[in-house]
Amino acid sequence: MSKKKFKTEVSQLLHLIIHSLYSHKEIFLRELVSNASDALDKLKYLTLTDDNYKKLDFNPRIDIKFEDGDKKKLIITDSGIGMNEEDLDKQLGTIARSGTKNFLSTLSGDEKKDANLIGQFGVGFYSSFMIADKVEVLTRKAGEENAFLWTSDGENAYSIKEAERDTFGTTITLHLNEEGNEYASRWSLENLIKKYSDHIAFPIFLEYEDTTWEGEGDDRKEKKEIKVEQVNAASALWKKSKSELKEEDYNEFYKTIGHDNDDPLLYLHTKAEGTLEYTTLFYIPKKAPFDMYQADYKAGVKLYVSRIFITDDEKELMPTYLRFLRGIIDSEDLPLNVSREILQQNKVLNNIKNASVKKVLSELQKLSEGNQEKYIEFIEQYNRPLKEGLYSDFTNREALLELIRFKSTEVEGWTSLGAYKERMKDDQKSIYFITGENEDTLRNSPLIEGYVKKGIEVLIMSDEIDEIVIPSIGTYKETELKSVNKSGTADDFKSDVDEETEKKVEPLIKKIKDALGDKVKDVVISKRLSDSPSCIVADENDPTVQMQQMLKSMGQDAPEATPILEVNPTHEIVEKLESVTDKDFINDVSFLLLEQAMLMEGAELKKPADFVKRLNRVLTKAL
């Protein structure tokens, strides 16, 4: 027998599950039945496609029974694919997902909030320890001779030893604790199965002891017999017609496949007939999956062929930017033995994928028009992935442009490109936007103060991805999108600076340019500044400060592009500097004008010590 400690993440998760999910403890049965169904799905596929398994005596079913006594037990058995020692160690001893630590760090201690997060993570098997103080897993993998027994009390360790089992499959025995005793009854189990697992496509049998009375009067005798009844419908929910299903049915099915305690934000059920026959059922979770921005995110869509499970690990079933979807694709036109390589090139699946994407985007558009409050809930979670689609899905770019939302200098909350265009001034030719890392910083940027003063709306884009995606759009309904971070944007901005002022300040502009040398690409009189003395912009052909920083953070070589410094000729600092003859003082102030502008745009000063020395020299002279 080998005894091993849980990985740290498992121990943490077990502790959190037991303490944070207490009010949802009944979900343990949903999770265990779902796991059993997955095991049956996998073996069913192999018995149809793999010669090594075709001769197996496969009778797919899930059996549940309870034992009463001093120590009550709940026993769940499936005839699925089973596990060997390596599987037990890998699946029940660790959580092989790179984002586990980050996920655990996001938990707040708020029981209700954490319950939803943990549910979203997929507590699965570990939810057993909410209602049991000891769990045993007796299992034998299909096609193998050896069986194994996994045992744990859910504290910090587990053991695995060889055991005996006549058939392949898995039996989980829960030694119920005081909190779990309520589940050792026919009625509680039957109600939970119907509530959470009625749609499981395999039969679930409940074994219980039934008591009847025979005879009359003094001759009346108690008769006990063991009964086994199927307690679920055992039909694939997605294959039923919409008229047969209620919203509650859809929601409960989602909670099983999405491992979530919340109802979904939206569901879409489609049945296509004709050239292609397929059914899809997609859900959008209320909260974004915790691993949505991780490279090893878990795909949320399962592929079936004529109700036969094929895979739940294929990220190509839907485009990457819709990776938050949960659900089912069930095709009548794919071969059962379709391989992963074939899947990626299959015309049938590609057509289903394309039609499904259009359907999802169409339903989102309807939601945005019919229920703005609910749509904003969606945007708060999924705006950024949709923006990824603008860059990667040219076919659906027009639809995506209508769905994405932005913050703005003109309105509270979120706005669309369409709404911006409707608010444009009659003589305004472009849609203006500013990109950067922080919304508050952008709202206070010198780059937009002139626009705000003139009542010209600027879209605030603080998503990292905006820097890459938005410039690639080019135009929206024949209106050009222009970045105020770029020098050329000022060309269509009507300046309040008259010719006389420009001529007057030109000598100072030359002195500043000489002082800064190769630190800047150019120094120019600003048309856009109203309250600030200076700002920096990127040349039209150069990357912005934000783009350079993003490339560096991604480990890529970022071209060292020097900024253009714009100087406000009507600002008091600039006006006073015109009459200064002290060259060293002019040099110091010139650098401070550049450096403060860089700080306002979130740029990093390479030599902060020099900046401090300059600031101190100027302060000393000013005092």
Q: pLDDT band at 321, cuts 50/70/90?
A: very high
User: In Å, what is the CA distance from 346 to each residue of 334, 341, 342?
Assistant: 9, 9, 6
Nearest to 435, CA basis, from 503, 494, 392, 387: 387
How far is it, in rounded angstroms, from Cα 329 to Cα 271? 10
CB 595 within 8 A of CB 617: no
Geometric angle at alpha carbon 195, from 191 and 201, rounded to 5°: 110
565-571: average pLDDT: 93
Instruction: Determine how β-strand 326-331 pairs with β-strand 308-311.
Output: unpaired
Task: Report the pLDDT value the prediction gives residue 107, as an integer from 0 to 100.
Answer: 57
How far is it, in rounded angstroms, from Cα 614 to Cα 587? 9
Entry pTM? 0.80
Give residue-wise pLDDT tens across range 472-522.
Answer: 888 999 999 999 988 878 767 777 777 888 889 999 999 999 999 999 999
Q: What is the percentage of the chain residues whose pLDDT exceeds 70?
A: 89
> What is the signed CA dihedral for 31, 32, 36, 39, rounded to 10 degrees?
70
How far is it, in rounded angstroms, from Cα 203 to Cα 378? 36
Residue 260's identity, in one-letter code, is: D
Residue 61's identity, in one-letter code, is: R
- Which segments within 451-589 are labelled E, that is strand? 458-461, 475-476, 479-483, 522-525, 534-537, 564-567
Residue 343 or residue 562, greater confidence: 562
Helix, strand, coil percentages, rounded to 5, for the chain: 45, 20, 35
What is the average pLDDT value for the chain, to the nearest integer?
87
CB 309 within 8 A of CB 201: no
Residue 85's identity, in one-letter code, is: E
Task: Report the pLDDT value the prediction gives residue 437, as an integer from 0 to 100.
Answer: 83
How far is it, in rounded angstroms, from Cα 489 to Cα 481? 10
Task: Report the pLDDT value the prediction gives residue 100, as an integer from 0 to 100.
Answer: 53
Q: Which of 305-314, 475-484, 528-537 has the lowest average pLDDT?
A: 305-314
Domains of the chain, earliest start first: 2-235 (3.30.565.10), 238-365 (3.30.230.80), 372-492 (3.40.50.11260), 499-622 (1.20.120.790)
Give residue-wise pLDDT tens across range 581-609.
Answer: 899 999 999 999 999 999 988 888 889 99
Give the residues across from 189 on adjacent strands. Answer: none
Whether the per-residue pLDDT at 116 is higher than 70: the answer is no
Task: Report the pLDDT value the prediction gives residue 96, as an integer from 0 to 100.
Answer: 44
Gap between the terminal Cα atoms of the chain: 81
Helices of type H across 302-444: 340-345, 347-370, 372-392, 397-403, 417-423, 439-443
Whether the per-residue pLDDT at 402 is higher than 90: the answer is yes
Residue 489 is classified by DSSP as: G
Give residue-wise pLDDT tens across range 126-142.
Answer: 888 889 999 999 999 99
Residue 46's identity, in one-letter code, is: L
CB 135 within 8 A of CB 151: yes
Task: Report the pLDDT value the prediction gives residue 555, as an integer from 0 to 100.
Answer: 65
365-376: average pLDDT: 96
How far is it, in rounded angstroms, from Cα 496 to Cα 259? 60
Whether the per-residue pLDDT at 551 is higher than 70: the answer is no
Q: pLDDT band at 98, cuts 50/70/90?
A: very low
Q: Is 623 exposed, middle or buried (0-12, 13-18, 19+ CB in 10 A)?
A: exposed
How far is it, in rounded angstroms, from Cα 132 to Cα 58? 30
Q: pLDDT band at 353, cuts 50/70/90?
A: very high
Nearest to 461, CA basis, from 492, 479, 490, 485: 485
Phi, psi of 98 (to 5 degrees): -65, -20
371-391: average pLDDT: 96
Give residue-wise pLDDT tens across range 242-263.
Answer: 999 999 999 999 988 888 888 9
> What is the signed CA dihedral for 353, 358, 361, 367, rounded to 10 degrees?
-120
Whether the per-residue pLDDT at 398 is higher than 70: the answer is yes
CB 28 within 8 A of CB 131: yes
Whether the per-residue pLDDT at 370 is higher than 80: the answer is yes
Give residue-wise pLDDT tens across range 411-447.
Answer: 999 999 999 999 999 889 899 999 988 899 899 999 9
Q: pLDDT band at 125, cuts 50/70/90?
A: confident
Geometric angle at alpha carbon 300, from 340 and 245, rounded to 5°: 115
How far is it, in rounded angstroms, from Cα 500 to Cα 441? 34
> What is the signed CA dihedral for 517, 521, 526, 531, rounded to 10 degrees?
-70
Task: Report the pLDDT value the prediction gives residue 138, as an integer from 0 to 100.
Answer: 97
CB 545 within 8 A of CB 552: no
212-226: average pLDDT: 75
Nearest to 114, CA basis, from 10, 24, 11, 6: 24
How far is it, in rounded angstroms, from Cα 135 to Cα 35? 15
Residue 102's identity, in one-letter code, is: N
* Secondary structure class of 209 (helix, strand, coil): strand
Residues 6 or more apart whose Cβ sits within 8 Å of residue 11? 156
- Which of the given ranges, 9-23, 187-201, 393-407, 490-504, has the highest pLDDT on average? 393-407
Q: pLDDT band at 177, cuts 50/70/90?
A: very high
